[in-house]
Amino acid sequence: MKSSLKRVIRRPEFGALAGMILVYAFFAVAAKNGFLTLAGTANWMNTASELGVLAVPVGMLMIAGEFDLSVGSVIGASSMIVSIGNGFYGLPMWAAIILALIIGTLIGLANGIITVSTRLPSFIVTLAGLFMVAGAALGFSRLLSGTTAVTLTPEGSARMVFGSQAAGFHVSILWWIAITAVASWILTQTPYGNWIFATGANPNAARSAGVPSDRVKVSLFVATALGAVLVGILQTIQYSGGDVTYGRDFVFDAPVAAVIGGVLLTGGYGSAIGVFLGSVIFGIVNMGIFYTGWNSDWAQLVLGTLLLLAVLGNNYFRKLALTGR
């Protein structure tokens, strides 16, 4: 029993699980009527799911030792591709969605190839990508439609897949759970998952051992871009329109959720379940502040405090895992 408890404590998601329980208990007591209701639960789960769809692939990339800051602009760009294609030019919804996925894939490939070929820090490469994609989205949106926000009327199968909801719970929750399950399986049950951890822990040693680290990183950059495209599609169909400003908050929110979920900033350590729980904490804090009646500005203070505690906790639990004590 004692050894089993130690194994649980050493898991990268243990700190996030403990944090989620404490945060939920706090707001369950501090919040006014509504937080514990079905509608209140749906509100924080919808918020967490949109972030989690992106945070999980971002977390996997961070485990491999890289960052992607361009995802915020990719969300806005994909939103405008779908809304301009369907809402302005009348393309079939699925054709506009496929076009957004193709462009997102190309952005991810560009980020990955530039990073691994130049050995520049991915922070710098994707920061440049953030501005380039944002500028391109803004310029082409005005050029093609004369505006930076376009409405559309979602219908058919695309609305069901990306915009349906039941009892206030948005379909993004199902996407979030499915992506987490696939990512967890990849990280824990496949050689590719071992390559991700090895690449993040020591890329030079991984290459010497035959791990295709460059290909692993490029594929993960593509995954983060596609995660951003998916968030853009979900928001566009849910809100019946696109806007180039969609996704700006996700630039740092996704890495924050990953770190709160147990991913080390230095790479080589973390889990998809932990990132899932980090997204849950983020959603609870954002909506919990609203139900307490406090000024929403306090949410940033709470999240900043949680981030600092998460970094300290992650380092502690990793040392436990490495020392075996």
Q: Which domains does the chain have, with CATH numbers?
A: 12-323 (1.10.3470)
CB-CB neighbours of 94 under 10 Å: 13
**Bridge partner residues of 169 (DSSP):** 166
Query: What's residue 76's pLDDT?
Result: 95
In 3-state terms, what secondary structure has residue 165? strand
Q: How far apart are CA 256 and CA 307, in angstroms?
A: 7
Query: What's residue 105's pLDDT?
Result: 97
Residue with tokens 């058919």: 156
Q: How far apart are CA 71 and CA 90, in angstroms?
A: 27
DSSP alpha helices (H): ranges in the chain?
2-10, 14-30, 38-63, 71-82, 93-118, 122-145, 156-163, 172-189, 191-201, 203-208, 213-238, 250-260, 272-292, 298-323
Q: How far apart are CA 281 and CA 303, in angstroms?
A: 9
pLDDT > 90 in the chain, percent:
61
Query: What's residue 107's pLDDT?
Result: 97
Query: Which among 157, 130, 166, 325 has a CA at the least distance from the CA of 244?
Result: 130
Query: What's residue 7's pLDDT?
Result: 66
Query: What's residue 318's pLDDT?
Result: 62
If you write DSSP's letter for every residue of 312-323 in order, what string do you get? HHHHHHHHHHHH
Query: What's residue 194's pLDDT?
Result: 95
Q: What is the pLDDT along the chain (325 residues), one digit of tens a residue?
A: 555 656 666 677 777 888 888 888 888 888 877 888 999 999 999 999 999 999 999 999 999 999 999 999 999 999 999 999 998 898 999 999 999 999 999 999 999 999 999 999 999 999 999 999 999 999 999 999 888 889 888 888 999 999 999 999 999 999 999 999 999 999 999 999 999 999 998 888 898 889 999 999 999 999 999 999 999 999 999 999 999 989 888 998 999 899 888 898 888 888 999 999 999 998 988 888 888 877 777 777 877 787 777 777 666 666 665 555 5
Type of residue at 20: M
Supply the pTM of this predicted model: 0.92
Q: Are 222 and 66 in contact (CB under 8 A)?
A: no
Type of residue at 87: G
